[in-house]
């Protein structure tokens, strides 16, 4: 017998659902086929609550809560889709598109990009904000992979997968605010860094920022689904 | 250390002081030191020696009126001198026993009338590096009282009854926070003092740390006893080297006298404090970012809950309070919760220290009882706007706060009243602006500050503040349209409601408050490409202006 876990019931978008007490609203919503957009969340990695796309409303509170870290509570009434939330999600996506140089037509991830998919799902048709067009480097020093900072959305999935799963902690974040950048080691070229060449960061990257050089010009789908299985196998060992 | 020993120390200090007819307290705060108050002090000491007068020259903390530095206070005749130079020392010493030096004396009845010193009661009256002088003014009595006469819950009850609220800006009830940490399960527990004062124009915490550091240590030890903590950290920004060196000297003194370490004051209490230096990030004043920074990680905030009271430093229950909050603790226990609750308004008790800066006659540190009207602080204590200019707005709460216009000057200072008016208490920066300030430009300044200080973790704050800054610059340059203004307002709403931490959530406040009270200035920039205050360079050639020229 395992230790008993409390079960809670709550309402998400008018649907009565049940959940274990250690689950987040996002987990429960996905179990029940309720779609909440996310970019920084990835099953198998720790949560950072940074992309703010999964913000949901809770009845009785004027505040918004990130579903990825929001623990379920008995009787909670969650609203995951409203005019207000749609507007916020669209604006956040606009901020992302205007922040760096996201040009789908010439991107290796075109058609396999989470940012692109979510923008379509949120019915984003245009960007009202001026594009910032920053001049950012492309790191081609690695023999197998490349990092194009123009397409990076700073979700820090690569940082987390490298530290938490691979255990190498090659990736990290440098600088602050709008000048933040993901870097390898102490801002060394990726090719001469302590990278173990496992490629997990490429698989979890939601955009074309990290990509496999051999996939340029062909379809480049990413497969981050390995993470939960990997974690499960490690737990059993 | 017991109460008899405390009294012996106090008695020894009193006897020492009886040897002198006069005591001259020379301010050794960072502001006065920058103007060579140390040289003046040395000159005074030399003069005293050669004149043979029974006078004691003391290195003291901040005397309040920082703009008139270097400052000195002559006790017991309560004469204040300002703008002192090395060459003035002879005259000052010669005047003792006779009339004060008219040329240097400052008449500050208005400045001190209306102020009420609780946190600053020792600032400028004691040598901050001599623990004996702190003890002689009632120091560590509160700690002894707590340890010998009260149980931890009793201390928490007193703090709760006093109505003290967090002085860092949020205004969370201190007693409630202490109670939560005391009840939280986990070991060890930590006490953190937040001295990462980063608001532009704010220097309250620095002055307390420089002028009366033992008070903060005493507050932290009492807190440790109340919540059951064994280890404390004080997080001070590295830009305050004097505060750091005085505080570490004070820690050594406190250890030597048995107020820190094992068996504090002969009781089983074990507690010690370590200093951690901030590396110049404003966001590290946010409690979860501060904790990450102490842990040696990148200083970025995380989502709450769990709150630090439950899971803070190294996932242990952590009490985190501001310098000024801890500085209020000892007086509350010494004089009783009722005494403290007797000051202030219904929901904001006690006093608040403000750093009064900007276009104001008396720039400096003031401590006023809560509930005082803004008008009194600015025009009576502050002496009003100098050089015949007209008052325009007062900015409180740093980059998270807002600008309040003339019609709100009768507002009584309290946490709730300021929030109601679209600003906030913040940590205590108060910047006065006159008719030479452009409110759009002011909003742009604060948004730029938030943009460069954003940690970059969440998108609304990272990219949102940058976009807001771009739009505000456009307005300042006279190139913006009404659509840009609408977009700015929309962005403010998004950044405010979707950002991860307090920095992002409050970053739009300077824009929203200036839009609320000074919308006409925004419109003037947009419609007529003109800056009413003459600050912004709006003469950029806009399509509209060119069109007008053609038709002429």
The domain that holds B493 is classified in CATH as 1.20.1440.230
Regarding whether A91 and A196 lie in a shared domain, the answer is yes
Over chain A, what is the mean pLDDT? 94
Regarding whether B327 and B215 lie in a shared domain, the answer is yes
DSSP state letter for B373: B
Residue B253 has pLDDT above 80, yes or no: yes
Mean pLDDT to the nearest integer, B408-425: 92
DSSP state letter for B389: P
CATH number at residue A75: 3.10.20.740
Regarding whether A136 and A19 lie in a shared domain, the answer is no
pLDDT on residue A2: 58
Mean pLDDT to the nearest integer, A78-82: 97
Regarding whether B174 and B308 lie in a shared domain, the answer is yes
Domain boundary among B294, B309, B341: B341
Regarding whether B289 and B165 lie in a shared domain, the answer is yes
pLDDT band at A139; cut points 50, 70, 90: very high
Residues 6+ apart with CB under 8 A from B438: B476, B521, B531, B532, B533, B534, B535, B536
- For residue B469, which residues of chain A lie inside 8 Å, CB to CB? none
Residue A198 belongs to some domain of the structure: yes
Regarding whether A100 and A15 lie in a shared domain, the answer is no
Chain B residue at shortest CA distance from A39:
B459
Regarding whether A196 and A102 lie in a shared domain, the answer is yes
User: Closest by alpha carbon to B300, among A224, A54, A173, A207?
Assistant: A173
pLDDT band at A5; cut points 50, 70, 90: confident
CATH number at residue B243: 3.40.50.11540
Q: Answer yes or no: do B460 and A49 touch at CB < 8 A.
A: no
User: Under an 8 Å CB criterion, which residues of B touch A?
Assistant: 281, 283, 298, 302-303, 451-460, 462-467, 470, 487, 490-491, 494, 497-500
Regarding whether A131 and A113 lie in a shared domain, the answer is yes
Residue B117 belongs to some domain of the structure: no
B345 and B362 in contact (C-beta within 8 Å)?
no
Q: Answer yes or no: do B454 and A96 touch at CB < 8 A.
A: no
Range of the domain at A15: 7-81
Regarding whether B414 and B310 lie in a shared domain, the answer is no
Regarding whether A77 and A113 lie in a shared domain, the answer is no
Nearest Cβ partner for A177 among B455, B497, B499? B455
Residue A232 belongs to some domain of the structure: no
Regarding whether B473 and B383 lie in a shared domain, the answer is no
- For residue A61, which residues of chain B lie inside 8 Å, CB to CB? none
Residue B179 has pLDDT above 80, yes or no: yes
Q: Answer yes or no: do A154 and B281 touch at CB < 8 A.
A: no
Residue A113 belongs to some domain of the structure: yes
Q: Count structural domains, chain B.
A: 4
Q: Answer yes or no: do B466 and A154 touch at CB < 8 A.
A: no
Regarding whether B145 and B104 lie in a shared domain, the answer is no
Nearest Cβ partner for B459 among A51, A64, A175? A51
Residue B118 belongs to some domain of the structure: no
Regarding whether B453 and B313 lie in a shared domain, the answer is no
Regarding whether A142 and A69 lie in a shared domain, the answer is no
Closest chain B C-alpha to A98 CA, distance in angstroms: 8
Regarding whether A149 and A186 lie in a shared domain, the answer is yes
Residue A235 belongs to some domain of the structure: no
Regarding whether A77 and A21 lie in a shared domain, the answer is yes
pLDDT on residue A1: 47
Sheet holding B231-237, edge to edge: B272-278, B231-237, B190-195, B318-322
Q: Count Cβ atoms below 10 Å from residue B108 Cβ, excluding itself.
A: 17
Residue B433 has pLDDT above 60, yes or no: yes
Range of the domain at B534: 439-544
pLDDT band at B552; cut points 50, 70, 90: very low
Q: What is the DSSP annotation of B416-464?
A: HHHHHTT---TTSEEEEEETT--HHHHHHHHHHHHHHH--S-SHHHHHH
Residue A236 belongs to some domain of the structure: no
Q: Per residue in B116-145, pLDDT tens?
A: 999 999 999 999 999 999 999 999 999 999
- What phi and psi, each to the nearest 5 degrees, are found at residue B48? -60, -45
pLDDT band at A3; cut points 50, 70, 90: low
Regarding whether B223 and B209 lie in a shared domain, the answer is yes
pLDDT on residue B406: 93
- For residue A176, which residues of chain B lie inside 8 Å, CB to CB? 281, 283, 453-456
- For residue A47, which residues of chain B lie inside 8 Å, CB to CB? 303
Mean pLDDT to the nearest integer, B147-165: 96
Provide the 3-class DSSP secondary structure of residue B246: helix
User: Closest by alpha carbon to A36, among A46, A44, A45, A26?
Assistant: A26
Regarding whether B460 and B421 lie in a shared domain, the answer is no
Q: Per residue in A24-40, pLDDT tens?
A: 999 999 999 999 999 99
Respond yes or no on whether the N-terminal peptide bond of residue B306 is cis (omega within 30° of 0).
yes
Contacts across the A-B interface (CB distance below 8 Å): 92
Residues in chain A: 237
CATH number at residue A102: 3.30.70.20
Q: Answer yes or no: do B462 and A69 touch at CB < 8 A.
A: no
Regarding whether B314 and B191 lie in a shared domain, the answer is yes
Residues in chain B: 552
Chain B residue at shortest CA distance from A100:
B463
Residue B42 belongs to some domain of the structure: yes
Neighbour-count burial of B187, counting CB atoms closer than 10 A to its CB (0-12 exposed, 13-18 middle, 19+ buried): exposed
Regarding whether A67 and A121 lie in a shared domain, the answer is no
Regarding whether A105 and A212 lie in a shared domain, the answer is yes
Residue A200 belongs to some domain of the structure: yes
Mean pLDDT to the nearest integer, A14-26: 95
- For residue A52, which residues of chain B lie inside 8 Å, CB to CB? 458-460, 498-500
Q: Count structural domains, chain A.
A: 2
User: Under an 8 Å CB criterion, which residues of A touch B?
Assistant: 47-52, 55, 64, 66, 69, 87-88, 91-92, 95-96, 98-99, 128-130, 132, 153-154, 172-173, 175-180
Regarding whether A102 and A39 lie in a shared domain, the answer is no
Q: Per residue in A105-134, pLDDT tens?
A: 999 999 999 999 999 999 999 999 999 999
Domain boundary among A22, A51, A81: A81
Residue B114 belongs to some domain of the structure: no
Regarding whether B59 and B11 lie in a shared domain, the answer is yes
Nearest Cβ partner for A50 among B298, B457, B487? B457
Closest chain A C-alpha to B479 CA, distance in angstroms: 14
Reported ipTM exceeds the 0.90 cut:
yes
Over chain B, what is the mean pLDDT? 93
Q: Per residue in B262-308, pLDDT tens?
A: 999 999 999 999 999 999 899 999 999 999 999 999 999 999 989 99
Mean pLDDT to the nearest integer, B302-330: 96
Regarding whether B381 and B491 lie in a shared domain, the answer is no
């Amino acid at each position: 017998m395992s230790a008993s876990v409390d079960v809670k019931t709550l309402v998400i978008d008018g649907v009565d659902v049940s959940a274990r007490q250690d689950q987040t609203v996002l987990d429960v919503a996905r179990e029940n086929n309720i779609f909440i957009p996310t970019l920084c969340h990835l099953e198998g990695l720790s949560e950072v609550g940074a992309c703010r796309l999964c913000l949901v409303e809770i009845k009785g509170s004027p505040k918004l809560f990130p579903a990825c870290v929001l623990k379920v509570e008995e009787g909670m009434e969650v609203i995951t889709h409203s005019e207000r939330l749609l507007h916020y999600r669209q604006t956040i996506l606009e901020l992302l598109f205007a922040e760096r140089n996201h040009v789908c037509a010439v991107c290796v991830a075109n058609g396999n990009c989470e940012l692109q998919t979510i923008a379509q799902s949120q019915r984003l048709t245009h960007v009202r904000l001026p594009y910032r067009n920053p001049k950012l480097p492309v790191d081609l020093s690695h023999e197998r992979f490349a990092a194009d900072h123009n397409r990076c959305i700073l979700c820090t999935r690569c940082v987390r997968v490298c530290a938490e799963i691979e255990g190498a902690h090659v990736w990290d974040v440098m600088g602050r605010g709008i000048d933040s950048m993901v870097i390898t080691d102490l801002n060394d070229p990726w090719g001469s860094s302590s990278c173990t060449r496992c490629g997990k960061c490429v698989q979890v990257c939601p955009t074309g920022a990290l990509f496999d050089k051999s996939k340029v010009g062909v379809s480049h789908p990413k497969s981050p689904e390995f993470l939960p299985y990997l974690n499960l196998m490690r737990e059993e060992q | 250390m017991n109460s008899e020993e405390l009294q012996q120390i106090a008695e020894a200090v009193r006897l020492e002081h009886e040897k002198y007819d006069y005591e001259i307290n020379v301010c050794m705060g960072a502001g006065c030191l920058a103007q060579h108050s140390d040289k003046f002090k040395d000159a005074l000491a030399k003069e005293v020696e050669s004149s043979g007068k029974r006078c004691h020259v003391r290195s003291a903390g901040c005397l309040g009126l920082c703009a008139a530095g270097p400052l000195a206070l002559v006790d017991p005749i309560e004469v204040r001198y300002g703008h002192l130079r090395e060459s003035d020392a002879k005259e000052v010493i010669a005047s003792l026993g006779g009339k004060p030096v008219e040329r240097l004396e400052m008449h500050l009845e208005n400045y001190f009338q209306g102020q009420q010193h609780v946190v600053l009661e020792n600032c400028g009256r004691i040598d901050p590096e001599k623990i004996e002088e702190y003890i002689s003014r009632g120091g560590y009595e509160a700690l002894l009282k707590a340890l010998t006469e009260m149980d931890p819950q009793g201390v928490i009850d007193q703090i709760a009854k006093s109505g003290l609220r967090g002085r860092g800006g949020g205004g969370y009830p201190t007693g409630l926070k202490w109670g939560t940490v005391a009840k939280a399960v986990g070991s060890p527990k930590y006490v953190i003092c937040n001295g990462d004062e980063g608001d532009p124009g704010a220097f309250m915490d620095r002055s307390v740390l420089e002028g009366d550091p033992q008070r903060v240590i005493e507050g932290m030890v009492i807190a440790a006893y109340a919540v059951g903590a064994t280890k404390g950290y004080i997080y001070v920004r590295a830009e305050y080297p004097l505060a750091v060196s005085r505080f570490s000297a004070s820690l050594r003194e406190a250890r030597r006298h048995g107020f820190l370490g094992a068996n504090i004051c002969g009781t089983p209490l074990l507690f010690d404090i370590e200093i951690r230096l901030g590396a110049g990030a404003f966001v590290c004043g946010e409690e979860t970012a501060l904790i990450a920074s102490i842990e040696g990680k990148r200083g970025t905030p995380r989502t709450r809950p769990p709150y630090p009271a439950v899971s803070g430093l190294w996932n242990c229950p952590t009490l985190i309070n501001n310098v000024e909050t801890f500085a209020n603790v000892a007086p509350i226990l010494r004089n009783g919760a009722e005494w403290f609750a007797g000051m202030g308004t219904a929901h904001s008790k006690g006093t608040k220290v403000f750093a009064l800066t900007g276009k104001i006659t008396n720039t400096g540190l003031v401590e006023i009882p809560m509930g005082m009207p803004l008008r009194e602080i600015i025009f009576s204590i502050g002496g009003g706007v100098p050089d015949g200019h007209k008052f325009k707005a007062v900015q409180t709460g740093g980059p998270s706060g807002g600008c309040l216009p003339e019609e709100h000057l009768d507002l009584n200072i309290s946490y709730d009243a300021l929030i109601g008016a679209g600003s906030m208490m913040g940590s205590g920066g108060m910047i006065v602006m006159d008719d030479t300030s452009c409110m759009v430009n002011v909003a742009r300044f604060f948004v730029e500050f938030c943009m460069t200080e954003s940690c970059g973790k969440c998108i609304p704050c990272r990219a949102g503040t940058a976009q807001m800054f771009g739009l505000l610059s456009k307005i300042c340059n006279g190139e913006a349209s009404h659509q840009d203004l609408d977009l700015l307002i929309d962005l403010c709403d998004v950044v405010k409601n979707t950002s991860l931490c307090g920095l992002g959530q409050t970053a739009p406040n300077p824009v929203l408050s200036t839009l609320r009270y000074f919308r006409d200035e925004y419109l003037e920039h947009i419609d007529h490409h003109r800056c009413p205050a003459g600050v912004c360079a709006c003469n950029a050639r806009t399509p509209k202006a060119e069109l007008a020229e053609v038709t002429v």
